[in-house]
Structure 1
Amino acid sequence: MGTLLPSSASFAAKHPAAAKPAAHKKAAAAAASANALPPLAAQTALADNPPALPAKAWLLMDFDSGEVLASANADEPLPPASLTKMMTSYIVEQALRSGKLKQTDLVTVSQNAWCRGSGTESCMYLPLNSQATVIDILRGIVIQSGNDASKAIAEHMAGSEAGFAKLMNAEAQRLGMTYTQFVNPTGLPDPEHKSSARDLAILARAIIRDSAEYYPIYAEHDFKYNGIKQGNRNALLYTDPTVDGLKTGHTAEAGYCLVTSSKRNDMRLISVILNTHSAQARADHTRTLLGWGFGSFEKAVPIQPGAVVTTAKVSFGKADTVGAVLGAPWMLTVPRGQQVQATVELKPGLEAPVAKGAVVGKVVATSNGKPLGETPLVAQADVERAGLLLRTWQYVAKWFGK
């Protein structure tokens, strides 16, 4: 950690076990490099020339659509290490949003949650039997990757780590994290504790989407608690101003892992690197993957918001047709220079009454015959049901094909 974090000097001073001689660091780096995995080529890619990255799994996702732009071993269950804490923090954030927790609520640090300062695990260094506010605990989880903070909030919310793991798994199932099984809130090794690159990208997307009030914490460079200032372990936060999260992870079994979000202009991408050989490697591979993504894709707007896409026929209404417009602004992420075609599909047999905003069809976007996405078409205005006399005439006209 000391090689990456600007604030690590004060931490090392208080915890001498964290400091390592320069020669030892160089030897460790050389050994890690020698243990690097062979480059793993993309198994899926929506643009040409995706990178091959020396990791057990990797993935790049478009935030807006949730579409995977490129990946390798995306669904292989692997140990996620401290990437687990994204689910722990997400549950805390949603509890804060719903009012189940308040930022000022006090969380007690039990014997089980307390970190003994051995230097073998990530800690917020909460004193035994002390109390900390929920918002400080959240920062300790996100920025300092505190195992103590994660255990303490788990016990506070669910009585035990096992009870909190049930909440984690229920939330994972709700989000569609198919290959994930959580056993604890920290990511400490357990044979049953697994997640996949795709699942972790889904979780990262949920955090950015659902936790807007708290997401800026993931970009904070450091946090001081109990007199100990520790820096965020995500090295990209210090070198790339477009990066604003999310989480690092490392154990001997999981290797070095990193989930990152970067926004450039109107495009946000989420990258996942699982089990590479060093902290430097996970940062470098992420830079490579994001660089390829932003260089290979662009945003396309197939239809302008507010434009009448088509008119839909309406039976038995005071009006025979209604304008069909987009239900929401529609933006696609497509390979650069690719032409996009939009095809309209209307619901058959549309009958009045039709409420403004009711779905009347959809637009499907394709390129070179491949589907890119779709979005609903909705009624531009209300169409009231016609009176009995007019409906009778319309029935007759319809019967004779007029």
Structure 2
Amino acid sequence: MGAMVRCLCVGVCLALLLPPAGAAPRVGAALLAAAPPAVERGPAGPPGPPSTLLMEVFTGQVLAESDAHRQIPPASLDKLMTLYLTLQSVKTHRLDLSTTVTVSVDAWRIGRTHRSSRMFLNVGDRVTIEQLLYGLMVASGNDAAETLAEAIAASPEQFVDQMNATAARLGLKDTHFVTPHGLPTPGEHTSAWDMGHLAREILAAFPDAVAYTSPRYVTYGGIRQANWNNLVFRDPRVDGLKTGFTDEAGFNIVATASRGPLRLIAVVMGAHTLQLRTASAEAQLNMGFARYELVAVPWQRLVPSSIRVYGGRAARLRLETPRAVEVLVTRDDRSPLTVSEELRVRPIAPFQRGQQVATLTIRNATAVLATSPLLATAPVDRSGILTRLWSLLRYRIGGLLRHRQTTWTATFVPQQ
């Protein structure tokens, strides 16, 4: 009888001390008893194998994909768009990296949501945009995302409108955002295809963005947190970008890695376990680096890098490409490439610096591998009236006497 009474007392005490299932946590309770690490949770995410995509950044070529348009909750992959819009605001001088903002109650509350990753911002903290970017991408701070949204737009709701408008402009047709951070919310979805293309847009527009995604640790308020992207600890080639996890989304990652000039993006969405996500991303990156390489095309040695100009103060106009001309080939492919240049305007002054004059095209036997505008390297003004008239007369007569060449073609064989 005494034993039964003791058991009953213990049961009553436990019932009084433990919260009922599904009860909201007390404010600050997450600080005392954090949720178990994601790796210890059971299988999560949508049914079926994960969606995947492998992309090369320079050319934007998709090298492999599996069910890449399936719509899946993004979880913290939302923060890639928050990063993009923040860097755009810095580029357009709406914000500066040193701009200081004050943490609101709403942002603090988002960080204290059950199972919310956070930067550990406190109400009233004065924090810079640069600090928030590290907190956003390394610590995956939902409080940092909310604070950035408030700094960029009049409200988080207006910031989400900007996110969706930008997604539409970039052609992300599988994506609809509801929050700047990715906490589970009905109606929010994206795809491996869209996240890969968003990551490429970030890396193309802001190559230094990896400075905010590559650190292994970030410290704020005396709290040191490890990067949620476990690949930065496992593979020295990996320097970003973002992971995400919720029970609904599963384990997501958009990873980028470089070896020499070749930079790849690997996306995994909807993996049931952290181990599966890691293995899938690593397998994609390893395959990409083993199979492909970027080859520089020395077009200046193959087709004209300058053209003759008529009626101008200079006799010739030098041409350049906006960036290096490289093509993606498989490592065992040494088939010849066709390099062609086509003049797009009459060679008559004036010309402005940066004006497109011609188009450069690189082809193999079956497809166009790359195209690039050829731009004027310097302005060419009109010459004096008599010199100009004589030069234009020579241009007209020359066109009547012989065919004026406007296209040039050469062959280039990549070397082993």
TM-score (norm 2): 0.77
Cα offset for 1:289? 0.3
Q: Secondary structure at the match of 2:121?
A: coil
Distance 1:129 1:397 in 2: 75
Cα offset for 1:203? 2.0
What is the match of residue 174 of structure 1?
A: 169
AA matched with 2:392: R
AA matched with 2:371: E
Does 2:354 match 1:353? no
TM-aligned CA distance change 1:349 to 1:219, over 3 Å: closer
Distance 2:326 2:185 in 1: 41
Distance 1:92 1:327 in 2: 25
What is the match of residue 65 of structure 1?
A: 59
**Which of 72, 82, 88 is the equivalent residue of 1:78?**
72
TM-aligned CA distance change 1:379 to 1:19, over 3 Å: closer
Distance 2:267 2:168 in 1: 20
**Which of 367, 371, 379 is the equivalent residue of 1:370?**
367
**Which of 211, 229, 235 is the equivalent residue of 1:240?**
235
AA matched with 2:235: D
Distance 2:133 2:69 in 1: 29
TM-aligned CA distance change 1:366 to 1:293, over 3 Å: same
TM-aligned CA distance change 1:106 to 1:348, over 3 Å: closer
Q: What whole-Å deviation, never above 9, does each CA across 1:212-236 have from its counterpart, x for those lacking one?
A: 4553121111222233322111111
What is the match of residue 6 of structure 1?
A: none
Q: What whole-Å deviation, never above 9, does each CA across 1:128-180 have from its counterpart, x for those lacking one?
A: 34443332222221111111221222223323221110121233233333332
Identity %: 30
Q: Secondary structure at the match of 1:332?
A: strand
Q: Is the 8 A contact 2:108 2:143 kept in 1?
A: yes
Cα offset for 1:184? 1.1
Q: Is the 8 A contact 1:344 1:361 kept in 2?
A: no
What is the match of residue 18 of structure 1?
A: 35
Q: Is the 8 A contact 2:99 2:129 kept in 1?
A: yes
Q: What whole-Å deviation, never above 9, does each CA across 1:3-30 have from its counterpart, x for those lacking one?
A: xxxxxxxxx995433357xxx976x4xx
TM-aligned CA distance change 1:13 to 1:249, over 3 Å: closer
Distance 1:324 1:387 in 2: 22
> Quick check: which has more Rg, 1 or 2?
2
Q: Secondary structure at the match of 2:105?
A: coil
Q: Secondary structure at the match of 2:54?
A: strand
TM-aligned CA distance change 1:116 to 1:137, over 3 Å: closer
Distance 2:94 2:345 in 1: 46
TM-aligned CA distance change 1:349 to 1:198, over 3 Å: same
What is the match of residue 391 of structure 1?
A: 392
Does 2:176 match 1:159? no
TM-aligned CA distance change 1:115 to 1:227, over 3 Å: farther
What is the match of residue 18 of structure 2?
A: none
Cα offset for 1:198? 2.4
Distance 2:95 2:321 in 1: 38
Would you say how many aligned residue pairs link Structure 1 and Structure 2?
367
Unaligned runs of 5+ in 1: 1-11, 39-53
Q: Is the 8 A contact 1:207 1:215 kept in 2?
A: no
Q: Secondary structure at the match of 1:364?
A: strand
What is the match of residue 198 of structure 2?
A: 203
TM-score (norm 1): 0.79
